[in-house]
Amino acid sequence: MNFDVAIVGSGLGGLTVALHLADRCRVAVIAKRSMHEGASSWAQGGIAAVLDSADSHEQHIADTLVAGAGLCDEGATRFIVENGRAAIDWLIAQGVPFTPDPGAELGFHLTREGGHSQRRIIHAADATGAAVQNTLEAKARAHPNITLFEHHCAIDLIMSDRLPGAKRGDSQPQCLGLYVLDQKSARVHTVAAAHTVLATGGAGKVYLYTTNPDTATGDGIAMAWRAGCRVANMEFIQFHPTCLYHPYAKSFLITEAIRGEGGLLKLPPQAGARAGERFMPWHDERAELAPRDIVARAIDFEMKKRGLDYVHLDISHQSPAFLQSHFPNIYQRCLELGIDITREPIPVVPAAHYTCGGVITDNAGRTDAAGLYAVGETAYTGLHGANRLASNSLLECLVLGQACAADILQRTGSAQSGLPDWDESRVTNADEEVVIAHNWDELRRFMWNYVGIVRTSKRLERAQHRIDLLREEIDEYYRNFRITSDLLELRNLVDCAALIVKSAKSRHESRGLHTSRDYPATLPKALPTVLTPKRRR
C-alpha cells in the first residue's frame, strides 16, 4: 500500500489524472463502490468547449462569467476555457464515441444548453458521461501501473503535523497518504503516497432530492476540511431544474439539452385555467434557455404558487426519429415508466445537482496542504462562481486533471514509510445501527426544507441547531464504535452540511444560486465566501 500517487475517486477527474501519470508513476485509484458508480457516469448533456470557428474563447468566457453572477475567477475561467480544445482532442484520441456530424468542422455534433450563446456542447447522444467513463475506465484497467481499489472507502488523510511528536505551526502541513476501509473485509489499510488527489465529486446527497448517485456524500471536501484546508462558496448548490418526477424513478436527470433542442416548460393540468401554458417567458426573456438557477427558481415559484407537485417539460413537437436519435436513454427510460416523450410532456421537478464550492485550489489542483490536490466537483477553482454554466463541469475535470498530473510529474519525492496503523483498540461493534439511518434521513430532510432553493435566516438558524445536535451524536458514535461506510458517509455529510449553512449565513445578499428572502438585493461588490479551519487561523 505504498504508491507515488493515491487518487480518491474514479470519475472523469480521477481517471484523467491517473492516465496522465501512469506511464511514469505507480498510481492507486480508490473507489468506494465499483469504478462506474460516480456522478461522471450519470452526466447526460456533454462537455462545453470552443470547437467551431463561429465560436470563440471570449464568448465562452463571457457566458461563464454571466452565469457565475460576478463571482467567477476570470483567470481560472480563461485557463480552463483556453485549454478546452486540447482536452477534447485527448478524449477523442482515447476513443470516446462522440455523436458524429459529417457537416461540422470537427466532425462531431454540437448542441446548445441554457446560458450558452453558441452551440459548443460535444456529446455522445444523451449519455456522454457513461461514454467517457467507460472509455477511460477500460484504459485504466488495462494499465499495469494503475492499481484499482474498488469498494474501499476513504476515512481520513494522514497529515504530517498530526503524527506523534509533530510540532504544529512550524511549517506547511504535508499530506502523507490516507486511511481506507476495505468494505468487503472490514479492515482498515494505511495507504502511503507522495501525492494524494481528492476527486470524490460533490455533496448532493446532503439533500433529500438530488440527481446525484448515492456516492455523492462530500467525502473529499470533508476530509480536506478536517485536514486543515480552506473551502469556498459552499452556499452555492446548483439545483437542476428538471429531474424526472415519478414514484418509481430515483434521481433520473432530464438533460438540459432537451431545452436546448426546443423543449418547453409548461403548467400541468393541475394548474387549472392556465394548464398547458409556458411560464418561463414570465420570469426571464431567455425563457427555457435561461441559466439553471433562474429556471429552477421559476419552477419552484410556480409549484409553490399553484400548489403543484411538478411541471411539464414538453418536446413532443420534435419528430420521433429526432428524439430517439438524440435522447435514446431518456426516451427509453421514460417509455419504461409509461411516458412517451414523442407524444406527451415529461413531469419534472428541481433537485440538488452540483456543488459549486469546494476545496480551494490553484490552476494545478494544489490545496493548502503540501502533497494534496483536489480536482473536479470536490475542488473550488473559481470557474463556477455563484452558478455553474451547463457542461462546464466535465471540462473542468479534464483540464484541471491534466494540469494536476503535469504538476505532480514536475515534483520529486517518495511515499513515507512507517506511517501509523489505524487504531481500533478502544472501540466495539455498534449495537444499534438504526441511529445512523435515522440521522441520515433527518439531515437530508431538514437540509431540503431549510437550506433549499430559497432560504431565510430563521431557516438557516434551525438547520444550524439541528446540525450541532447531530454532530454530537455522530462524533460520539464515531469514537466508540467500529467504522462502517454508512457512518463515514454520514460523518462527511454532516461536515458538508455545516459548511453549506455557515457559508449561507455569512452571505447577506441574493446572488446566483443563493436566494435569501431576508437579503433579496445583490451587493455591488461580489466576494467569494472563504472558510478557514480553526487550526489555520
What phi, psi does 419 have (nearest 5°)?
A: -70, 145
Please list, residue by residue across 228-255, b when 16 or more beta carbons sit within 10 angstroms of its beta carbon and e when fewer do: bbbbbbbbbbbbbbbbbbbeeeebbbbb
Residues 6+ apart with CB under 8 A from 452: 207, 239
For helices 392-409 and 12-21, the axis angle rounded to 10 degrees is 30
CA 328/CA 334 separation, integer angstroms: 10
Whether 292 is catalytic: yes
CA 147/CA 524 separation, integer angstroms: 50
Grid cell digits, residue 408: 505532480
Please list, residue by residue across 412-438, b when 16 or more beta carbons sit within 10 angstroms of its beta carbon and e when fewer do: eeebbeebeeeeeeeeeebeeeebbee
In this structure, are residues 149 and 31 in contact, taking their beta carbons and an 8 Å threshold? yes
Residues 6+ apart with CB under 8 A from 305: none
CA 297/CA 283 separation, integer angstroms: 9
CA 364/CA 204 separation, integer angstroms: 25
Neighbour-count burial of 506, counting CB atoms closer than 10 A to its CB (0-12 exposed, 13-18 middle, 19+ buried): exposed
Type of residue numbered 173: P
Name the catalytic one among 78, 292, 297, 388: 292
In 3D space, the residue among 352, 124, 110, 369 whose CA is nearest the CA of residue 225 turns out to be 369
* Cα dihedral across residues 146, 147, 151, 152: positive or negative: negative
CA 200/CA 219 separation, integer angstroms: 6
Grid cell digits, residue 491: 460523518
The catalytic site residues sit at: 292
